[in-house]
Chain A
Amino acid sequence: MMKKYIYLIALLFVIVSCEKVIDLDLNDANPQLVIVSQLWEGTNDFEVAITETTSYYTPEEPNQINNALVTIQEEGGDAIVLENIGDGKYVALDYTATEGKTYTLSVEANGVTNKASSTMLTNVPLDDVASEFVPGMFGQDDGYFVFLSFQDIPVENNYWRIFYKLNGEDQDKGENLFLFEDSSTNGSYLVFPIWTQLFDLGDEVEVTLGHMDQSMYEYFLTLDGIAGQSAGQSAAPANPNTNWDNGALGYFGAFNGSTASIIVE
């Protein structure tokens, strides 16, 4: 958050700057396994997507892995095998994830096994969402901030990713990645805007406060550093800190969410 402000100063210089698309040769790395999966609290269809990296400039779809062995296991429970449904996707229908439990996802693909664990944390209820007018700055248009408010739990070190939908559509691009942790605000009643976006009058915004564990926060934080609003600021970008233990990219995370909606007025 801090960095963003510092870059406001840089904006003044950006006014005289110019941008252009350049021809830059990039190497083609050997394809690497990418496993992405979110497990939400409650009974839902649980899905895992397995693909491979592609060359950076190619418009082609990534290679999808449909012959992997994928299992999910609740701590103290049995491993359940997920079924391949094509397009590199695997699913366990009506799978129940419970607060307080740790889940381990195991994927055997391309001859290697990757495992990752994540803990389903408590639900932190979203109290209210509200909108407020913001005048435009540095030549940007006016808009509305959507504020969310909730009571932070007294437990230290909580991490959230705020997911939101605009007029029914997931805002899931890198620039919408919005993370929050409570090290400076533990236990307070919190009110803050979704910094990542300004909304317009009449927009319908659905906000989900996704409570997650520290390994997920570190993943998304480092992901934000290369693919989010902070991208390009680091002198030394690196692959995100994944929780996969054997070289795979992506993540497996457990989320406990609380949702509220508003129409901007």
Chain B
Amino acid sequence: MIKKIFLSALCSIFYMSMMAQTFTISGNIKDLSTGEDLIGATLSVKEAPGVGVASNAYGFYSLTLEAGDYTLVYEFLGYESYEEAIQLNANLTKNVELGVGGLEIETVVVKAEKEDENISNTKMSVNKLNPKEIEAIPVIFGERDIVKTLQLTPGVKSAGEGNSGFYVRGGGIDQNLILLDEAPVYNASHLLGFFSVFNSDALKDVTLYKGGIPAEFGGRASSVLDIKMKEGNKKHFSVSGGIGLISSRLTVESPIVKEKGSFIVSARRTYADQFLRFSKNETAKNSTLYFYDLNAKANYQLTEKDRVFLSGYFGRDNFGFNNNQFGFDWGNGTGTLRWNHLINEKLFSNTSAIYSNYNYKLNISFDESAGFSIASGIQDWNLKQDFSWFPNPNNTIKFGFNGLLHTFKPGTLEVSETNTQFIPDTIQAQKAIEGAIYIQNEQKINDKLSIFYGLRYSMFNQVGPGDINSYDSEGNITETVSYDDWESVKYYGGLEPRFSMKYQIDDVSSVKASYNRINQYLHLLSNSATTTPTDIWIPSSKNVKPQIADQVALGYFRNFADNNYEFYIEGYYKDLQNQIDYRNGADLVLNSAVEGELVFGDGYAYGAEVYLKKRKGDLTGWISYTLGRTLRTFPDINNGREFPARQDRIHDVAIVGIYKLAPKWTLSGTFVFYTGDAATFPSGKYNVGGIDVPYFTERNGYRFPDYHRLDLGVTWIRKKTERKESSWNLSVYNAYARENAYTISFREVEDDPNQNEAVQLALFKIIPSISYNFKF
């Protein structure tokens, strides 16, 4: 059956392209006011219902039709559509700009936004955010954060109070591939996770793939968070920014040569530590604590067919205690150089060279004779080639390959000159090559049925130089083998089929199904309850097998009341192989035999997600509900019995409401409820030489109390014209001061040492914040 579909699919690709007298309409779709490329804008043809194409990540589209007279309709959600009648008797280049509305456009404009995209699109399990759309949602410390907004959508769970780490459909934090302009970001959080590294002022498009992940992506088992930066205003110079209690942001955009190139530079810095200067305490005065982000991007149209982009991100956290007696800094740097080339009007090529780096450094010098520092990091060089081919209206084919060189620097211990105690030490760096080749096609079978299928072959090769250990089942080294430069230590590879399909029931509803397999070759080691900068990435190796995820999903999608309401329900089942956990007391920092501290097992997750969104009117917002379980089985943990993963939250509800009270006033509110995390608590106690010791009987057998919280916000637009805008935003995090447990610990009752009690620590009660945002 599958074979038959595949063959007929292949035939249709070539049959269509062999038809005589066809011509191609191609070009770019852009935003009218800023010149930004629109991703996923669609072109349809009035005379041929069901025929259409969507613009790719660079705003490029291509549609091939028989010669004739047509009315082209360009649409993009949230924009006014654009119609134009054409006579197709030769290949045609059509660059189109769409406006948000209220602006005069010369040609005919009809109000018919692309509102049923969620129904008609073949892709499923996708959460898309428009950074602009989320502006009004209240957030902690007044810092807008796309990751925290994503946590309010189905299937995505926060890693904890105020934390920007997230779990997707029961997967781990390290199973999310986070791409910023195609560059992987290895540690996506600042300040122990309270802020994500993404400054939303510089972002254009945020898409999270939870399932049915296209073959063009790979490398992480659970999800892909694809973040694209703005290109910069092509029309005129503009400045925007914000001043908040914690940080300030400033973004500058401008054309380089009008309509040909532009750039954007966006910076953010926190200044909580500046308040320390006013402290009377000398130690506090001499301490620093801040982070900053810098995003920059430039693009230039070299010729009609060639365009280059250069983008980069650089961010760092810096903590210095008492004149750097203890200093700690960490951060990511990424760079992407891209070249778009139009080979012909049907074939679009993009070549990217990508660099990504994460490192941390920690230094301690309380005593002159014991000054030392520890550094660790990971570095990537990646070369990527992608083609988009638009052979005919029913098929959009993408194919490509990439090669990646990883360098892992697990740790270096450097000692100061005056240090007489410590011995410098470097755990040897490790190298690995990762590669992939893929092809995928989005194909319309008929008006109702469309399929999206692809195949990816991924490979990973751990290479020398290095002394590679083998371990026994207890984690003791059994042998060490030396490898030469580039000598293969261990090769892994595998086929990853991807498939999704849509069946359109009627104009307002559809069902979709998907399957994907993904191999994950990198693993994050972290054994603390929070995300810390010292978490380290390790490669798959002789001792560590790649993680493999298989996921199936089924969904029903329905819009109501003239696309006013969007609704879906999706169910998923995910199987996870070769998951990683740690031996008791595992030491992950500066440990040359760290693989011996790991234990391996399997897991699975399943659940259902329900989403209802109101898109229009004075009141907008959504309700998201996820019912999910995620369980693990490790021979070495919990006596081999199945146990829930920490993120096994059974119920997870988020309600988001934005109410336009008056033209200048917007009220907003967010309510979150979820089942408490699974946790290990004692089921008994005993005494060991004066120390009161808890006795544990099972892993994650208990639960934290349920979590719930209400946030409120109000935005007052002081001034708004076509170009200038300024507003004040006041938000209150945790408005009813719910004391949600961040940690639960156990201790002796102070005046009765024989008695124990459970103590919860709640991080934040009510946190009000205010910020001022501007644009001109």
In the complex, which residues of chain B have a beta carbon less than 8 angstroms from the beta carbon of A53?
A: 684-686, 695
B317: min CB distance to chain A, Å? 9
A27's contact among B369, B425, B697, by CB below 8 Å, is which?
Answer: B697
Partner of A5, one of B326, B686, B746: B326
Smallest beta-carbon distance B190→chain A, Å: 11
Q: Is A43 an interface residue (CB 8 A)?
A: no
Q: For the complex, is A223 an interface residue (Cβ under 8 Å from B)?
A: yes
Are A59 and B752 in contact, CB atoms less than 8 angstroms apart?
yes
Q: A12-B289, A17-B763 are in contact. Are A29 and B697 (CB under 8 A)?
A: yes
B765 neighbours in A (Cβ, 8 Å): 16, 18
Min CB distance A3 to B, Å, is: 7
Closest Cβ of chain A: how far from B108's Cβ, in Å? 56
B754 touches A62 (CB 8 A): no
User: Do A227 and B695 touch (CB < 8 A)?
Assistant: no
Task: Let me know if A22 and B744 touch, CB within 8 A.
Answer: yes
CA distance A225 to B688 in the complex (A): 14
Pair B682/A26 contact, Cβ less than 8 Å: yes
Chain B residue, CB-CB nearest to A61: B754
Contacting pair B741 A22 (CB below 8 A): yes
Nearest A-chain residue to B581, judged by Cβ: A236
Considering residues A51, A177, A235, A236, which has the most beta carbons from chain B within 10 angstroms of its beta carbon? A236
Q: Are B755 and A55 in contact (CB under 8 A)?
A: no
> Which residues from B are CB-within-8-Å of A5?
321, 326, 328, 362, 364
CA distance A177 to B688 in the complex (A): 12
A51 to B162, alpha carbons, bound, how many Å? Answer: 43
How extensive is the interface on chain B, given as a class?
35 or more
Q: How far is the CB of B350 from chain A (nearest CB, A)?
A: 40
Contact A236–B680 (Cβ < 8 Å): yes
Q: Are B686 and A52 in contact (CB under 8 A)?
A: yes
Which chain B residues border A173 with CB–CB below 8 Å?
A: 690-692
Q: Is A55 a contact of B743 with CB atoms below 8 Å?
A: no
Q: Does B682 contact A233, Cβ atoms closer than 8 Å? A: no
CB distance from B418 to the nearest CB of A (A): 12
| Interface of B (DSSP majority class) | mixed
Q: How far is the CA of A117 from the CA of B691 in the complex (A)?
A: 22
Interface residues as binary, A123-157 with B (CB distance below 8 Å gives 1, 0 otherwise): 00000000000011111000000000000000000
Alpha-carbon distance between A34 and B685 when the two chains are bound, in angstroms: 10
Q: How far is the CA of A228 from the CA of B532 in the complex (A)?
A: 20
Give the total of A residues in contact with B, Cβ under 8 Å.
82
Chain A residues within 8 Å of B761, by CB = 14, 17-19
A28 near B758: Cβ-Cβ < 8 Å: no
* Contact yes or no, A192 B284, CB < 8 A: no
Q: Any chain A CB within 8 A of the CB of B5?
A: no
Is B764 at the interface (CB under 8 A from chain A)?
Answer: yes
Known contacts A22-B744, A188-B421, A250-B686; decide if A222 and B585 are in contact (CB<8 Å): yes
Q: List CB contacts (< 8 Å) of B659-714 with chain A.
A: 680-697, 699-702, 705
* Complex Cα gap A242–B547 (Å): 31
Residues of B within 8 A of A2 (CB): 362, 374, 534, 589
Determine which of B683, B692, B762, B767 lies in contact with A18 in the assembled complex, contact meaning CB atoms within 8 Å. B762
List of A residues within 8 angstroms of B367 by Cβ: 191-192
Do residues A249 and B691 form an inter-chain contact, with CB atoms below 8 A? Answer: no
Whether a CB of chain A sits under 8 angstroms from the CB of B349 is no
Measured in the bound complex, the distance between the Cα atoms of B194 and A61 in whole Å is: 43
Q: In the docked arrangement, what's the CA distance between A251 and B696, Å?
A: 16
Is the Cβ of A28 less than 8 Å from the Cβ of B684? yes
Interface membership of A10, Cβ < 8 A: yes
Within 8 Å by CB of A172, from B421, B680, B689, lies B689
In the complex, A85 has a CB within 8 A of chain B: no
- Interface 1/0 per residue, A216-251 and B, CB below 8 Å: 001001110111100111111111110000000111
Partner of B683, one of A23, A26, A234: A26
Task: Report yes or no: A34 in contact with B739, Cβ–Cβ below 8 A.
Answer: no
User: Within 8 Å CB of B690, what residues of A?
Assistant: 170, 172-173
The yes or no answer to B742 lying at the interface (CB within 8 A) is: yes
In the complex, whether B759 has a CB less than 8 A from a CB of chain A is yes
Docked complex Cα distance between A53 and B362 (Å): 41
B582 at the A/B interface (Cβ < 8 Å)?
A: yes
Residues of A within 8 A of B687 (CB): 34, 36, 51, 62
* Interface core residue of A137, A188, A225, A235 (most chain B CB under 10 Å): A235
Q: A36 to B688: give the CA distance in the assembly, Å.
A: 6
Among B284, B421, B425, B692, chain A packs the most CB atoms within 10 A around the CB of B421
CA distance in complex: A23, B746 (Å): 11
Q: Which of B282, B590, B741, B756 has the most CB of A within 10 A?
A: B756
Among the listed B191, B695, B699, B744, which residue makes an inter-chain contact with A29, where contact means beta carbons less than 8 Å apart?
B695
12 examples of A-B residue contacts, CB within 8 angstroms: A2-B534, A5-B362, A21-B758, A22-B705, A27-B697, A28-B683, A32-B686, A218-B585, A223-B691, A233-B528, A233-B529, A235-B528
Known: A24-B758, A184-B423. 4 other contacts (CB 8 A): A2-B362, A51-B687, A189-B421, A237-B680
Complex A-B, nearest 5 residue pairs according to Cβ-Cβ distance, in ascending order: A172-B690, A29-B683, A222-B585, A53-B684, A24-B758
